[in-house]
Amino acid sequence: MAEKIIRDQEALDKLKSIVDQIDIGTICTFTPHSSYPHGVPMSRQEVDEDGNIWYICSAESETHKNLEKNDKISVFYADPKNYTFLSINGTATLSRDQARIDRYWSKMMEGWFDKGKEDPNIKLLKVIPDEAHYWDSGSNKIATLFGMLKNAITGSNEDIGEEGELKL
């Protein structure tokens, strides 16, 4: 894989493209009671124009409780079918912006918050990426595996995708 460093708007576009393509990321927070991260899958609501990733969470969740004590966060996105992966480390903020909650509210949210969108336990989680690394084959799994096999058999070094840092 060719390694690249992508900067500024191109980096934001790449981050948004991958997050929007995959949607569900594993949010990892850090607890003072363990040396291992606490991970949960969450569906993103939006990647804003600054590259921040927004989620809705519950104030009663382990994720929220961990972030109140330590704002460091890691998020991992994986699409093995297309060999696309993204790793993000950053900081998180928690808030309650009713206008944003109204914008993100959907029927699916009612399953998590039975008191509706005015439920005081609804919190917004904003991930502010500090660093990000991606792997993207640019094709599907079969084409990538074929390219890897071809390189192994022929000794060639044809590009089978790219990986790199996103400098936001």
**6: how many CB neighbours lie within 10 A of its CB?**
19
Mean predicted confidence (pLDDT) in 7-30? 96
Pairing of strands 24-30, 37-43: antiparallel
Any idea what the CATH number is for the domain that residue 142 is in?
2.30.110.10
Instruction: Please tell me the pTM assigned to this model.
Output: 0.85
93-135 pLDDT, tens digit per residue, is 999 999 999 999 999 899 899 899 999 999 999 999 999 999 9
DSSP letter at 100 equals: H
**8: how many CB neighbours lie within 10 A of its CB?**
10
Domain hosting residue 19, numbered range: 2-167
Q: What is the H or E stretch that residue 129 is in?
A: strand 122-136
Per DSSP, the three-state class of 152 is helix
Per DSSP, the three-state class of 45 is coil
- Report the percent of the chain where pLDDT is more than 90: 73
Domain count, the chain: 1
Q: Who has greater pLDDT, 65 or 114? A: 65
